[in-house]
Amino acid sequence: QAHGVSAQSGLCFDAVDRQGRPVAQSHRLWPQTERLKALVAEAERGVTPGRRMAAEREILPLAQRIRQNYFTPGPGLWVDQLDAQLRPQSQFIPATSLYHIFLAYSEVLRFYTEKSSI
């Protein structure tokens, strides 16, 4: 997470160079969902308690950013890619994104369900 996440939007860039500088200022949906799953994994199994807590603090804000920025076109629709100003960049809505959305939010739900039952 040290590289590749916009300080302004909190979203992953589509591409960064070897030094971690953004090459593409756009933001596809699927990297955001993969990051969400990675945060859940880090919150559960992070190397130190501090890393686990830091990851957990980021889960809900990222889930909310995804919902706010990518699920706005209408019920059952999503935006696949945003430009640097967080405007929809494509009219294309790949069905494969549903897989990423479902798994990411399933992991978030599982994490908080298990956490509340402890």
38-77 b/e with 16+ CB inside 10 Å = b? Answer: ebbebbeebeeeeeeeebbebbeebbebbeebbeeeeeee
| pLDDT score, position 74 | 72
For residue 112, which of 36, 50, 51 has the smallest C-alpha distance? 36
| pLDDT score, position 115 | 86
| pLDDT score, position 13 | 97
Kindly list the domain boundaries of the chain, sorted by start residue.
Answer: 15-116
Per-residue tens of pLDDT for the chain, all 118 residues: 668 999 999 999 999 999 989 999 999 999 999 999 999 999 999 999 999 999 999 999 999 999 999 997 677 789 999 999 999 998 888 889 999 999 999 999 999 999 887 6
| pLDDT score, position 108 | 98
- Side-chain half-sphere CA neighbours of 92 within 13 A: 8
| 62 vs 53: CA distance, rounded Å | 15
Using the Cα atoms of residue 52, residue 101, residue 19 and residue 85 in order, give the sign of their dihedral: negative
| pLDDT score, position 68 | 94
| 15 vs 107: CA distance, rounded Å | 25
